[in-house]
Each structure stands twice: as C-alpha cells, then as structure tokens.
Amino acid sequence: MGAELSAMQNAQANGQLSMKTSSVRASQSQVLAFHSSARWRAHFEASKATAKLDVAQEFGVQAMPTFILIKKGRVIDKVTGVKKEELQKKIEKHRAYYNYA
C-alpha cells in the first residue's frame, strides 16, 4: 500500500494524476501510511479542497459567496453574491415560517 501511495504522489507531482483521482484511490484503503508530517499535511489539505469542491458541485454553487439555507435536510433558499439585506430577509422569512409550521 505504501508503494502504491508513493507512486500516486509521484504521478501527481509530475502532473500525471489529478488531486481528485488520487484522493479517491487513497480513500479506498482503511489505513494510509505517511512517512513525514509534511506529506500528511499535504494529503489533509488536498482532501479538504476536494471535499469543498464536491459540496459546491452538489449544491450547484457557481459563484462566491453563495449562501444556501437548509432546513431539515432540504434546500429552502439560496443567495448568491454579497447581498447582506437580501440574506437577512430570507433568514428572517424562513425562521418565521418554520417557527409556525
């Protein structure tokens, strides 16, 4: 397993492997061996970036900032851009609606 991980890291460093592909392959194993804290940090940071992209794709985020209001596991509203007043109104609207529902 360590050899496979090293091979993936070398391929990634040479631009032959995308970060998402390496994360998928590495996550198939229960245990990952890292021989330095620097490699662990690099893997951890890459995993965080991949997770953020996955969440953004799941909710259809195409611009930053995007605020998605979720209640009981359902998307109830969305605000894209820096629109403080609009965001505040939607939060208050949904808070009032769900408090009485």
pLDDT in tens, 21-43: 344 444 555 688 888 999 999 99
Cβ atoms within 10 Å, residue 82: 9
The answer to whether residues 9 and 52 belong to one domain is: yes
Are 50 and 9 members of one domain?
A: yes
Residue with tokens 């592909």: 21
> What's the pLDDT at 23?
43
Residues 79 and 49 in one domain: no
- Which pTM was predicted? 0.52
What share of the chain in percent tops pLDDT 70? 66
**Which residue segment(s) compose the domain that 79 sits in?**
66-100
Q: 88 and 99 in contact (C-beta within 8 Å)?
A: no
Same domain, yes or no: 7 and 52:
yes
Question: Residues 50-70: pLDDT tens digits?
Answer: 999 999 999 999 999 999 999
Q: How many domains does the chain have?
A: 2
- Same structural domain for residues 50 and 24? yes
